[in-house]
Every structure is written in structure tokens, then in C-alpha cells.
Amino acid sequence: MRTICTLWVSSCLFASLTYSQQEKVLASADHAAGGVKVELLEVKRDTPTVVTARWRYRNESAEKKQLTSDRTGWIDPYRLSSESYLLDEGKRVKYEVSRDSDRRPVASRNGSPNQYIEIRPKQTIEVWAKYIVPDTVTTVTLSIDGVRPFEKIAVSK
């Protein structure tokens, strides 16, 4: 019975990993680290004023790659998203990652404080961040550190 449960859990995990790998990619760019692709998965309006962006890093190389250049403390786990922003090019307005009441980014955590964020060979890291964006904004440019901007991305509902 234990073996059957283990196999079932393993197959479910494999299926979920396979599904996330096959998710529709809106745009893709090479990361400055080399051998790493950054894939934009979603820019979606959650509420009239909150937009969530999701992207992933895929290390296509056989080497470990360093994705961040700083390691200075509590902010380090947020570095993959903390410097990102959405840009309304028409109005020239920049929307930075939202912050909570403790001034921490409303975003995914990857890694630990006082450490660089690294990605192992063939590993995938998923990232998300939330931005406060007026409901009149329907198209944005997403800027992520280390890659060229993803331009003219429609904000889905």
C-alpha cells in the first residue's frame, strides 16, 4: 500500500511539473547570466487595481548560474522581482512592485537572506510579483533585471 501511495504522489508531482513546463509562454528572453531563459507566463488583473505578473527562469545549460549580483540582507530572497516594474509607455508611468505594511515586496521569495540566488543546471525557478496599476491600463512593458524588457504585453482579466 505504501509503495502504491508513493507512486501515486510521485506521478502527481511529475504531472504538475510537466504541466508547468508546458504552460503558455507570452514572451521569452535570454538572461545576462547566459544559458538561462526568462519566460513571461502571465500578466493578469486580479482586481481593478492589482496586477500580478508571473515569469520563470529556465537554466538550459549544464552549469549552475548566478542570477543576482547582490547579497545584502533581508531583501535577497525577493531580488528576482524587487527591481521589476510595469511601465505604461503611453502615459510614461512606472508601477513598481507593491509593498506590504512592513515595506516588504508583495512577491515570491526565492533563496535566503545574505545569499545570491543561483539556479542549478536544468532547474526552473518560478517568480511572481504584484503591482498597483489603474484599471485604465490595458497594455504594459515588464522590466526584469538581467533581460530585455517585455514590451506591449496585454493585461488579461
The pTM (predicted TM-score) of the whole model is: 0.83
pLDDT at residue 115 greater than cutoff 60: yes
Phi, then psi, of 32 in degrees rounded to 5: -60, -25
| Joined grid coordinates for residue 43 | 500578466
Mean pLDDT of 12-37: 74
Mean pLDDT lowest for which of 13-27, 33-47, 74-88, 135-149? 13-27
State how far the alpha carbon of 58 is from the alpha carbons of 45, 50, 142, 148, 151, in Å. Answer: 25, 27, 18, 16, 20
Per-residue confidence (pLDDT) for residue 112, from 0 to 100: 94
Mean pLDDT lowest for which of 18-32, 34-48, 51-65, 121-135? 18-32
Taking alpha carbons only, the member of 95, 71, 110 closest to residue 143 is: 95
Average pLDDT over the chain reads 89
pLDDT at residue 145 greater than cutoff 80: yes
Per-residue confidence (pLDDT) for residue 60, from 0 to 100: 97
Q: Which CATH architecture has domain 25-154?
A: Sandwich (2.60)
Pure H helices in the chain: 2-21, 79-82
